[in-house]
Amino acid sequence: MVKKIKYDKQAIDLSALQDFQKYAALKQNEVSSSTLMEALARDELEEYKRQAERSLRRIGLLKEAIDIDIRALKIEGAVAKWRLVAKEKGLITDEEISQFLLSKIGVYEDQDNYTGNISALLVIVALYTEILKGFSSVKAPEIWAQLQNNLGVIYQTLGERGEDESFEKAITAYENVLGEISRKNDPSNWAMLQNNLGNVYRVQGERGDDVMLTRAIAVYKNALKEYTRRNFPMKWAATQNNLGGVYRVLGERGDDEALTKAVIAYGSALKERTREKAPMGWAATQNNVGNVYQVLGQRGDHEALAKAVSAYENALKERTREKAPMDWAMTQNNLGVVYGVLGERGDAEALTKAVKAYENALMEYTREKAPMDWALTTQNLGFVLWFNNDKQAGEVCLRAALAYFRTVEASYYVSTLEAGLRSLGLEP
CA–CA separation, 132 and 351 (whole Å): 51
Say if residue 371's pLDDT is above 80: yes
- Give the whole-number percent of the chain exceeding pLDDT 90: 67
Give the model's pLDDT for residue 14: 56
- 425 belongs to a structural domain: yes
- 380 belongs to a structural domain: yes
pLDDT band at 115 (very low <50, low <70, confident <90, very high): low
Between 110 and 99, whose confidence is greater?
99
- 348 belongs to a structural domain: no
Nearest one of 190, 210, 273, 186 to 236, comparing CA atoms: 273
Phi/psi of residue 185, nearest 5 degrees: -90, -15
Give the model's pLDDT for residue 6: 44
- 391 belongs to a structural domain: yes
Number of structural domains, the chain? Answer: 1
Give the model's pLDDT for residue 403: 96
Give the model's pLDDT for residue 9: 45
- 45 belongs to a structural domain: no
pLDDT tens, 255-311?
Answer: 989 999 999 999 999 999 999 999 999 999 999 999 999 999 999 888 999 999 999
Long-range contacts of 219-225 (CB under 8 A, 24+ apart): 219/194, 219/195, 220/194, 220/195, 220/246, 222/191, 222/194, 223/191, 223/192, 223/194, 223/195, 223/198, 224/191, 225/183, 225/191
- 34 belongs to a structural domain: no
Looking at residues 94-104, what average pLDDT do you find? 90
Say if residue 113's pLDDT is above 90: no
Looking at residues 130-155, what average pLDDT do you find? 90
pLDDT band at 202 (very low <50, low <70, confident <90, very high): very high
pLDDT tens, 302-343?
Answer: 899 999 999 999 999 999 999 999 999 999 999 999 999 999
Say if residue 3's pLDDT is above 50: no
Give the model's pLDDT for residue 42: 81
pLDDT tens, 30-39?
Answer: 556 777 777 7
- Residue 364 and residue 333 in contact, taking contact as beta carbons nearer than 8 Å: no
CA–CA separation, 242 and 190 (whole Å): 17
Looking at residues 197-208, what average pLDDT do you find? 93
Say if residue 5's pLDDT is above 50: no
Between 392 and 73, whose confidence is greater?
392
- Residue 364 and residue 116 in contact, taking contact as beta carbons nearer than 8 Å: yes
pLDDT band at 397 (very low <50, low <70, confident <90, very high): very high
- Residue 376 and residue 395 in contact, taking contact as beta carbons nearer than 8 Å: no
pLDDT tens, 42-81?
Answer: 888 888 788 888 888 889 999 999 989 888 889 999 999 9
Q: In whole numbers, what is the pLDDT of the chain averaged over residues?
A: 89
Say if residue 19's pLDDT is above 80: no
Between 40 and 8, whose confidence is greater?
40
The residue range of the domain holding 378 is 365-428
For the four alpha carbons of 417, 419, 424 and 427, in that order, the dihedral sign comes to positive
Give the model's pLDDT for residue 92: 85
Reduce the secondary structure of 76-103 to three states and give it as a string: HHHHHHHHHHHHHCCCCCHHHHHHHHHH
For the four alpha carbons of 106, 108, 109 and 113, in that order, the dihedral sign comes to positive
pTM of the predicted model over 0.85: no
- 413 belongs to a structural domain: yes
DSSP, res 2: P
Give the model's pLDDT for residue 1: 44
Say if residue 13's pLDDT is above 60: no
Give the model's pLDDT for residue 8: 45
Give the model's pLDDT for residue 343: 93
- 52 belongs to a structural domain: no
Say if residue 394's pLDDT is above 50: yes
For residue 33, the surrounding DSSP H or E stretch is helix 9-71
Q: Choose the weakest-confidence range: 114-118, 268-272, 404-408.
A: 114-118
Give the model's pLDDT for residue 275: 97
Between 67 and 194, whose confidence is greater?
194
